[in-house]
C-alpha cells in the first residue's frame, strides 16, 4: 500500500514537472509586412510646410526580444512631382519640382498589455531618418521680351527626427497581424542657417506576417 502511494506520488510529480516544462505558445519573434506611410511637417517661423510623403509603399519589420519589448523598423520610398504654370500681369511663372524621399524609422516598442489575446497597445520611441533628393526649377517669362529668369535648386539632405508615439496591433491569427503606428517628432539640430524648427508627424498602417516558430 505504502509502495503504491509512493509510485502514484512519483507519477504525479513527474506529470506536473512535464506540464510545467511545456512552453507557453507565443507569437513568432520576427514579423515582416507591407503597408503605407505618410509624413508631414511644418517649418515653424517661416509658415511653410515640408514636402510631404503621402501614403508611400512601405516594407516593415519587427523583432521581439520578449512579449513586452521589440525593435521596429521600416523603409518607405516615394517620388513626387509638382508642376505649376501661372500667368500674371507682365509675366508667366513655370515651376517643375521632383522630390525623391526615403523614410527609415528605427524604433523601440514597449507593449503595455502583452498578455492580451488579440488587441495590443504599445509605446514607440526612437529615431526617424529621412533622405530627400530635390530638384526644383523655377522659370519666369516676361511679356514683350525674350528674357527669362531661371532658378534651379538641387539638394540632397538627410534629416534625423527624434520622437515617440503609439502602436496599435490586432493579432488576427497567431501569424497575421494588422498594425497602425503614429509618432510625433522634431528634427534634431534645431534651427540652423537654412532650416527652421521642424516638428513632424508620421503614420504607418499595414499588415504583417510572423516568421518562424
**Coil, helix or strand for 18?**
helix
Where residue 45 falls among pLDDT bands split at 50, 70, 90? low
* Percent residues over pLDDT 90 in the chain: 46
Output the pLDDT for position 46.
62
Helix (H) or strand (E) run with residue 189 in it: none
**Coil, helix or strand for 173?**
coil
82-137: pLDDT as tens digits: 888 777 777 777 888 889 999 999 999 999 999 998 999 999 999 999 998 988 88
Whether residue 2 is predicted with pLDDT greater than 90 in this model: the reply is no
**Coil, helix or strand for 212?**
coil
**Coil, helix or strand for 114?**
coil
Domains of the chain, each with CATH number or no CATH:
28-211 (2.40.160.20)
Predicted TM-score of the model (pTM):
0.76
Amino acid at each position: 500500500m505504502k509502495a503504491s502511494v509512493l509510485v502514484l506520488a512519483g507519477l504525479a510529480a513527474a506529470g506536473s514537472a512535464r506540464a510545467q516544462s511545456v512552453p507557453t505558445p507565443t507569437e513568432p519573434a520576427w514579423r515582416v509586412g507591407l503597408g503605407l506611410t505618410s509624413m508631414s511637417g511644418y517649418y515653424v517661423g517661416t509658415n511653410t510646410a515640408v514636402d510631404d510623403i503621402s501614403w508611400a509603399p512601405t516594407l516593415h519589420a519587427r523583432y521581439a526580444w520578449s512579449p513586452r519589448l521589440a525593435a521596429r523598423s521600416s523603409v518607405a520610398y516615394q517620388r513626387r512631382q509638382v508642376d505649376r504654370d501661372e500667368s500674371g500681369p507682365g509675366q508667366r511663372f513655370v515651376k517643375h519640382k521632383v522630390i525623391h524621399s526615403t523614410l527609415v524609422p528605427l524604433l523601440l516598442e514597449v507593449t503595455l498589455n502583452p498578455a492580451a489575446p488579440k488587441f495590443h497597445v504599445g509605446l514607440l520611441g526612437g529615431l526617424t531618418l529621412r533622405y530627400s533628393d530635390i530638384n526644383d526649377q523655377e522659370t519666369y517669362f516676361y511679356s514683350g521680351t525674350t528674357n527669362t529668369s531661371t532658378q534651379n535648386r538641387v539638394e540632397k539632405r538627410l534629416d534625423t527626427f527624434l520622437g515617440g508615439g503609439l502602436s496599435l496591433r490586432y493579432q488576427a491569427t497567431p501569424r497575421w497581424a494588422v498594425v497602425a503606428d503614429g509618432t510625433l517628432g522634431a528634427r534634431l539640430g534645431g534651427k540652423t542657417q537654412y532650416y527652421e524648427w521642424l516638428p513632424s508627424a508620421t503614420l504607418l498602417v499595414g499588415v504583417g506576417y510572423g516568421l518562424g516558430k
